Amino acid sequence: MLSKNIRDDFPVLERKINGNNIVYFDSAASTLKPKMVIEKLSNFYLNNYANVHRAVHTLASESTQILEASRKKIAKFLNAQEEEVIFTSGSTMSLNLVVESFVRSGILNKDDNVLVTMVEHHANFVPWIRLSKLHGYNVLAVYPSGRFGELKLEDFNVKVNPKIVAITAQSNVTGQLIDIKKIREKFPNAIFVVDGAQFLPHAQIDVKDLDIDFLVFSAHKMLGPSGIGVLWGKRELLEKMEPFLYGGEMIDKVSLDEITFNVLPFRFEAGTPNIAGIAGFSFALEYLERIEMKKVENHIRRLTEYALEKVSKIDGVELYGPLNESQLGILSFNVNGVHPHDIAHLLDEKFGIAVRSGHHCAQPLMSILKSQSKLDVFPNSTCRASFYVYNTLDEIDKLIYAIKKVKEWFDVL
């Protein structure tokens, strides 16, 4: 387990919620921010901030250096080239950029096939489906055949030869880790677009080793600021792609007759970027690297195993996902007869425990959970407790106690 000192880095953990010590189990929605990131960000605003890439004055060049150092750090983290790291507002924007640009660039055409899965976050589902209606390509979805949304390798034994495979590396609902490398082997000629929003917070990805083409992720799910994320793409593909947003910074020459574009990565970064957000992302990565990603993963694994073992013993609780070692950091559940919003509300009000209730931006997956549910009524949503570096086994004990109490109050057997 990680040292207790880590908790000291997160001042918000000293807060009381309705008289109880806060238990923050909503990191899959967004993580808390360590003091170091906040202080470095404040320092950046106090001492260095100016617009980047344009002016020649000192503050501008300091800001530019800090921004480009962040790009370099992220490239190293991914084992990629700096020009391939594009800053966006987050995973959602990165995915919209990819889909729209594929269509504009003639990479994705009428009658082409795109393979997605039914466990995707809406960010990796809606853009593909929506633009298929406008542009006439086909979107096919892989259905998970395993336990409550568990994708199995054989589910990918499909007859189509997709041009694009768009897939998450980890479900934000069940926490299932998905073996991208093995799935890639099944579709060696497809363009692989990987949603790493849930996976990257506890794992270092080597994009070359994984042999993928695009990767998206968001800083706010890994201790960094919100409103900043990354699109990593293979240089040879990015160079063929039409920009998504047009404006300043992304151009080379502009006249009434002709517009030419800047080099990578700037041609995909129109307008003033989220300068402090980009700096903050590298501060968060620095913090995570100090802990070591492997230790982050091990800590979350220990918490998950403990939680799964204990919660699975509570009668009337339905737990989603594979419930084995491929499930990491997330516990999605329902209590028969109690709506997840009521559970989440009571956990907050009576115990200070923050969990998320809802469909978690994954309505297609909710329909799969519903089809296997043994609840009297499946509420089309779940309660989700998600764990990160600052959580402890004691907090999981509190959650278990609280779930049992909620059951008692609702008189659920």
Would you name the residues annotated as active-site residues? 361
Are the CB atoms for 367 and 141 separated by under 8 Å?
no
Q: Cα Rg for the chain, rounded, in angstroms?
A: 22
Which three-class secondary structure state does DSSP give residue 192? strand
Q: How far is the CB of 290 from ligand PMP (least distance, A)?
A: 24
Which lies closer to ligand PMP via its Cβ, residue 60 or residue 141? 141
Q: Is the sign of the CA dihedral 98, 100, 101, 107 positive or negative?
A: positive
User: Strand order of the sheet with strand 138-142?
Assistant: 85-88, 229-233, 214-218, 191-195, 164-168, 113-117, 138-142
Phi-psi region of 79 (alpha: psi -120 to 50; beta: other; left: phi over 0): left
| Residue 191 to residue 169: CA distance in whole angstroms | 15
Q: How far is the CB of 349 from ligand PMP (least distance, A)?
A: 24
Q: How far is CA 54 from CA 49, 198, 323, in A?
A: 13, 34, 52
Q: How far is the CB of 175 from ligand PMP (least distance, A)?
A: 10
Please spell the DSSP secondary structure of 205-228, one letter per residue.
--HHHHT-SEEEEEGGGGTS-SS-
Which lies closer to ligand PMP via its Cβ, residue 333 or residue 351? 333
Q: Is the sign of the CA dihedral 145, 147, 150, 152 positive or negative?
A: negative
Q: Which amino acid is at 370?
A: K
- Provide the binding-site residues for ligand PMP, judged by CB under 6 A: 90-92, 121, 123-124, 168, 172, 195, 197-198, 218, 229
Which lies closer to ligand PMP via its Cβ, residue 92 or residue 332? 92
Q: How far is the CB of 92 from ligand PMP (least distance, A)?
A: 3
Which lies closer to ligand PMP via its Cβ, residue 49 or residue 217? 217
Which lies closer to ligand PMP via its Cβ, residue 222 or residue 317? 222
Which lies closer to ligand PMP via its Cβ, residue 90 or residue 322? 90
Q: Which amino acid is at 37?
A: V
Residue 29, number of CB atoms within 10 A of its CB: 17
Q: How far is the CB of 257 from ligand PMP (least distance, A)?
A: 37
Q: How far is the CB of 405 from ligand PMP (least distance, A)?
A: 29
